[in-house]
Amino acid sequence: MAAELTAHQLIATHRPTLDQALETIRTRAYWSPHPEHPKAYGENGSLSLPEGKAAFDALLGSRFDLDQPGTDDWTGAEVSPYGPELGITYPHPDIDTLLPAMRAGMRAWRDAGAEVRAMVCLEILSRISARTHEMAHAVMHTSGQAFMMAFQAGGPHAQDRGLEAVAYAYVEQSRTPDAADWSKPQGKRDPLGLNKRFTPVARGIALLIGCNTFPTWNGYPGLFASLATGNPVLVKPHPRAVLPLALTVRVAREALSDAGFDPNLVCLAAERPDEGIAKTLAVRPEIKIIDYTGSTAFGDWLEANARQAQVYTEKAGVNTVVVDSTDNYKGMLANLAFSLSLYSGQMCTTPQNLLIPRDGITTDAGAKSYDDVVSDLAASVNGLLGDDARANGILGALVNPDVKARLEAASGLGEVALPSREISNPEFPGAVVRTPVIVKLDGAKPDAEAVYLNECFGPVSFAVAVDSSADAVELLRRTVRDKGAMTVGAYTTSDEVSGAVEETCLEECAQLSLNLTGGVYVNQTAAFSDFHGSGGNPAANAALCDGAFVANRFRVVEVRRDA
């Protein structure tokens, strides 16, 4: 087909953005090409807030056609955590037809080279960015995130992570030149000479297994890392969060096609209820790369069984905050309160265990007992969420009944320092909105340990009384080593304690946020600057995004001949 977008046009449009991304992953300074403010959209072809809402509404109750080969059925049963059924059906694949069709475009995609692949990926991201307002609604009504978070995390922040992956993929592929002349001196004889050509080649079809809570943010790094390195990508969304990735696939297919490539390089595989299609796909010989975010059980299964593929997993962890001392007690409480409340604690980065010495801590507001700290934190959460409109904007809705069940069971696990409260959502009466619960536990008691050393995903935190800060550091070490952690936080004014926490995080390989008291929270990471996960503890075998995340998604083939 005649490409509507030439390589020249794509490079003229997107190369400056790639260059800035390449620069920023080296400096780790702040940068993003994707605006965070809803009002920044609506011009230059991007959808405004009402246009995005209208586009989303138009999808409801319809068949989401992608014109994919091998569609044998239509499936979909998404229900918004805010109540409404989405009523959208998606193509269900006949795998034996779809997978070969996905391979057909690989050669042209390979021959395009790393730069053009990056440019097409940026074109996809730029088209997704233009539809951020539509995506915000799609993410909100599948993940249960509040609108503003769905807009930012599901839109610009996810796009940033995708762009970051493209940048890493481009760097990695361009480390080796396309060609080289090699001439080896042989003393008085003629030198030995070879002409060499080097070509990055794909591994095969990549499978992206999406998650319920952050379908785009957690999905884009793997999707774009694989695509930019030449691999077709089959997107298998979580059955409760299909729409955001279906929209993504549609945009990707259109952009690929407009740039003259086979749209089947990106396909969707929606599954029937309880079909478990991921398990079938994961062990297909055509699947050479898998990106997965979800439960430890299935992540472990993938690592053990999908042996024909490179497997990148983000699984469960137990995130800890060590509370030793602070020179900004109010700031610490406010920061922690927000971290526990944001999206009802349904982030893989939300702190779960707050380790507080049973003899209390020193602060700029005087000595505070363990009970003081816990009750002051509870009061801070209550203050933050006292207004229902504000609470709805921070908490969003519980993503599924499992989270609700865990929350309800939490009050039986120990003394409740902060009970969970129901919040009504006037706009969406069907939304299940709850404030977080904080449960007191004695860190020294084995039955308590059995509770706090397991991930309790959702708005549940444990205020764990420990013997000392040294004890807290040891418990931190054990938690990271045995259970994994996406994040670690610590509050301390002591160089000794901060040194011990840092050393523990370096040795056990966990990302540490120290003394955050302002507007940055332990659960948030910024693309181009912060690593999400470390890839070195049981919570995740990869970090977003580093060289290791991209380097093994392709191989380099050398063809050499006598000069």
- List of residues contacting its own copies (CB under 8 A): 25-30, 107, 110, 171-172, 175-177, 180-186, 192, 194, 196, 198-199, 201, 203, 303-304, 307, 502-503, 505-507, 509-520, 526, 529-531, 534-536, 543, 546-548, 551-552, 555-562
Q: 43 or 561: whose CB is closer to its own copies? A: 561
Amino acid residing at 39: K
Q: 307 or 412: whose CB is closer to its own copies? A: 307
Of 289, 290, 350, 282, give the one whose Cα is nearest residue 316.
Answer: 350
Instruction: State the minimum distance, in angstroms, from the CB of residue 110 to its own copies.
Output: 7
Instruction: State the minimum distance, in angstroms, from the CB of residue 555 to its own copies.
Output: 4
Query: In the chain, what are the helix, strand and coil shares in percent, each to the nearest 5?
Result: 45, 20, 35
Yes or no: say if 247 and 52 are a contact pair by the CB < 8 Å rule: no
Instruction: State the minimum distance, in angstroms, from the CB of residue 551 to its own copies.
Output: 4
Enumerate the β-bridge partners of residue 267. 234
Q: 426 or 519: whose CB is closer to its own copies? A: 519
Instruction: State the minimum distance, in angstroms, from the CB of residue 185 to its own copies.
Output: 8
Token representation of residue 162:
């995708």
Instruction: State the minimum distance, in angstroms, from the CB of residue 328 to its own copies.
Output: 9
Yes or no: say if 122 and 252 are a contact pair by the CB < 8 Å rule: no
SS3 416: strand
Q: 50 or 191: whose CB is closer to its own copies? A: 191
Q: 172 or 291: whose CB is closer to its own copies? A: 172
Cα–Cα dist 275/480, whole Å: 34
Helices 370-384, 388-395: axis angle to 10 degrees equals 100
Instruction: State the minimum distance, in angstroms, from the CB of residue 560 to its own copies.
Output: 5
Q: 441 or 500: whose CB is closer to its own copies? A: 500
Enumerate the β-bridge partners of residue 438. 418, 461
Instruction: State the minimum distance, in angstroms, from the CB of residue 286 to its own copies.
Output: 12
Q: 411 or 552: whose CB is closer to its own copies? A: 552
Instruction: State the minimum distance, in angstroms, from the CB of residue 29 to its own copies.
Output: 6
Compute CA distances 130 → 13, 143, 155, 181, whole Å.
15, 21, 10, 45
> Long-range contacts made by residues 502-510, C-beta under 8 angstroms, separation at least 24?
504/473, 504/476, 504/477, 504/480, 505/480, 507/477, 508/477, 508/480, 508/481, 508/536, 508/537, 509/480, 509/534, 509/535, 509/536, 509/537, 510/480, 510/485, 510/534, 510/536, 510/537
What do you get for the CA distance between the two ends of the chain, in Å? 37
Q: 95 or 548: whose CB is closer to its own copies? A: 548
Instruction: State the minimum distance, in angstroms, from the CB of residue 73 to its own copies.
Output: 32
Q: 3 or 559: whose CB is closer to its own copies? A: 559
